[in-house]
Amino acid sequence: MRNGSVQHRPFFKVLIANRGEIALRVMRSARKLGLGVVAVYSDADRDALHVRQADQAVRIGEALPAQSYLNIPAIIAAAKASGADAVHPGYGFLAENEDFAQACKDAGLVFIGPSPQAIEAMGNKAGAKEIMRKAGVPCVPGYQGLEQGDEVMLAEARKIGFPVMIKAVAGGGGRGMRLVTDAASFPDALRSARSEAKAAFGDATVILERAIQNPRHIEIQVFGDNHGNAIHLGERDCSVQRRHQKLIEEAPSPAVTPELRARMGEVAVAAVKALRYEGAGTLEFLLDASGEFYFMEMNTRLQVEHPVTEAITGLDLVELQLRVARGEQLPVRQQDIRFAGHAIEVRLCSEDAAQDFMPQSGSMARWQVPDGIRVEHALQSGSEIPPFYDSMIAKVISHGATREEARGRLIVGLEQLTAFGVTTNQAFLMSCLRHPGFARGEATTAFIGAHRDELLAPPADAAFGTALAGLLLYVTNPRAPSWRGGRSLSATFPLPAKIEIAGQARELEVTRERDGGYTVATDGRQDKFEIDQLDPDAIRFRNDGMMDSAKFLRDGDRLYLQHRGFPLAVTDFTLAAPKAAATNGGDGKVRAAMNGRVVAVLVKPGDRVAAGQPVLTLEAMKMEHVHKAGIDGVVAAIDVTEGEQVTTGRIVAEIGAG
């Protein structure tokens, strides 16, 4: 015990320097302890749920993070203005920023997290590895030198041996990270990693690591207090990732035995004690097929995936953070911790999995969450998903006595969740959870890459989904007579329709039969329907002797449909004018695929380019997206500048034939 250094730091009102579901999650635990809560918001979040549910809310700037949620003076001023005496950084934004922690301390505010010194020590990947080596933690071989010249970095990569990982030294969340398989592609990958790192963290420095093939991504949850106590709360398996960012997390890991858990936990606690660490933290490891594990980095904050640890331990990790921050001892000892059952979390993101997980923004026309399962979110029908922040919009967490029970509950929960209006990865997550490899607990970090085509495949009854969409467009058409059950005396004749569904154009014919049923003909097949009940947002019908149901939302010529958990967005083009020019670059114009910020212009006017050649990079929702030439030709114009914010569809470059 370090009783001489113990500080009691009472506080009564907490400002939460974050947004969305993160802010709401912290509010819940703070209020449980009788604390007041203050929110901050950008102009884009003026009407957000976390703003309305706080006791007070303070505007801190414009929409872009640098002007709001990353604006340290504005947040400190907001705390002072509101009378808050403590600041919780949430997870993301400034949660691992030592300057922010120090600014809070200098302002007389309690920072609910580790000391600025601990954040600084572990925030630099190179320095963190050296500290961990001294504490006896095994580390991945690599290069962490100060010399960052292109030739030096390539030479070091050759020494390590390909494949290698490039990682931003100040990074996290997969940003500034690239897997490089050969020397020829190393220079471009290095440039891209540096650009992304500079934009995300203000530091272009990178390190190199040996790429361990098909590892598990295992992290150990730790806690320390200022009385000298340290514990671990077991591991989480975060192997299912896209773009080096986690999608599915579970606890415990299917690959970790009790003996391995004890070894990893012992190493993690030793590191916490060596750092004299206070608060929540996570040590991240790679676990290879032989059972050897290697330290990657330490996150000096609460993790997005903390609910799975809460589910199997019964502990409130935010409450533990708050108690430790005000000088209390950890209320549990290592020997008191018990693990019960299995928990799995998925990250619901506003992104198009079929388009390389392209971020999506817009209005969430209808949002409904299922009962009986934990959903962390800050949404309601009509909520805006802005393009300036992370694409994760919710977390869905299940807990069961066994892994299979937890997996089944999570699949059912996702089937019942409704998210109409913005494309999400809902169907992709269900495909992952249903995949035999995941069901067997075999998923490594290579899971999505190895099974991408299977995971993105349309459902087996995709043609039936098209027919059901045609039926719904017909019976909900505001220009047509309202649906009524029973036989019809009217003459029957087919009504043609043209729709776009899942990005594909379809032509179909819908016929109201004299017996009261409907026939939908499309792509050489016919589907017959009987409607039992039609509500404003749901339909119950029979098809080939099977009674079934679906949820939907009709919005003009747009229809959102969810059948058996699979969401579809449909557009009725029957009465629309023919589309003008193509927008995929085939006309020589490169258009922004999303709202985002220009981080790199890779060509200049007069350059000759080939179709498929990168010409510009946009950053949106914490990801970089390379835009390529659609044709061979000469760059006629670059219509944007680096650092500029652009909207979806804007022409960013023009290429002339030649």
Residue found under tokens 């198009």: 352
pLDDT at 652: 92
Whole-angstrom Cα distance, residue 280 to residue 304? 12
* Greater pLDDT, 15 or 124: 15
- CB-facing half-sphere around the CA of 251: CA atoms within 13 A: 23
CA distances from 121 to 92, 375, 413 (A): 18, 34, 40
One-letter amino acid at 416 equals: Q
Residues forming the active site = 301
Beta strand 206-210 with 36-42 is unpaired
Over residues 118-146, the mean pLDDT reads: 87
* Greater pLDDT, 71 or 297: 71
Q: Please state, rounded to an integer, the average pLDDT across all residues of the chain.
A: 91
**Is a pLDDT exceeding 50 seen at residue 76?**
yes
Token pair recorded at residue 224: 């320390």
- Which class in CATH covers the domain with range 462-572? alpha beta
Q: Residue 301 in contact with residue 89, Cβ under 8 Å?
A: yes
pLDDT at 523: 85
pLDDT bin (cut points 50, 70, 90) of residue 195 is confident
Over residues 438-456, the mean pLDDT reads: 96
Instruction: Give the start-end residues of each E strand in 93-244.
Output: 110-111, 142-143, 164-168, 177-180, 206-210, 216-224, 230-242
Q: How many residues make up the chain in this entry?
A: 658
**Is a pLDDT exceeding 90 seen at residue 355?**
no
pLDDT at 170: 81
Over residues 544-569, the mean pLDDT reads: 94
**Is a pLDDT exceeding 60 seen at residue 578?**
no
**Is a pLDDT exceeding 80 seen at residue 500?**
yes
- Among 464, 261, 252, 432, which Cα is nearest to 347's? 432
Q: Residue 219 in contact with residue 235, Cβ under 8 Å?
A: yes
Domain edges within the chain: 7-112, 141-210, 218-456, 462-572, 589-656
pLDDT tens per residue across span 158-189: 999 999 999 998 876 678 899 999 999 999 99
**Is a pLDDT exceeding 80 seen at residue 308?**
yes
Whole-angstrom Cα distance, residue 346 to residue 342? 14
pLDDT bin (cut points 50, 70, 90) of residue 1 is very low
**Is a pLDDT exceeding 80 seen at residue 456?**
yes
pLDDT tens per residue across span 61-75: 999 899 999 999 999
* Greater pLDDT, 569 or 648: 569
pLDDT tens per residue across span 364-392: 999 999 999 999 999 999 999 998 899 99
Task: Give CATH for domain 218-456.
Answer: 3.30.470.20
pLDDT bin (cut points 50, 70, 90) of residue 478 is confident
pLDDT bin (cut points 50, 70, 90) of residue 490 is low
Specify whether domain 589-656 bears CATH 2.60.120.260.
no
pLDDT at 2: 42
pLDDT at 580: 41
Over residues 8-28, the mean pLDDT reads: 96
pLDDT at 27: 98
- Among 11, 653, 654, which Cα is nearest to 327's? 11
Q: Residue 390 in contact with residue 243, Cβ under 8 Å?
A: no
- Which class in CATH covers the domain with range 7-112? alpha beta
**Is a pLDDT exceeding 70 seen at residue 577?**
no
- Give the architecture-level CATH label for domain 141-210: 2-Layer Sandwich (3.30)
**Is a pLDDT exceeding 80 seen at residue 620?**
no
* Greater pLDDT, 195 or 7: 195
**Is a pLDDT exceeding 90 seen at residue 583?**
no
Over residues 143-150, the mean pLDDT reads: 91
What b/e string do you get for 378-417 counting C-beta neighbours within 10 Å, with b at 16 or more? Answer: bbeeebbbbbbbbbbbbbbbbbbeebeebbebbbbbbebb
Enclosing H/E stretch for 22 = helix 20-32
pLDDT tens per residue across span 29-53: 999 999 999 999 999 999 999 999 9
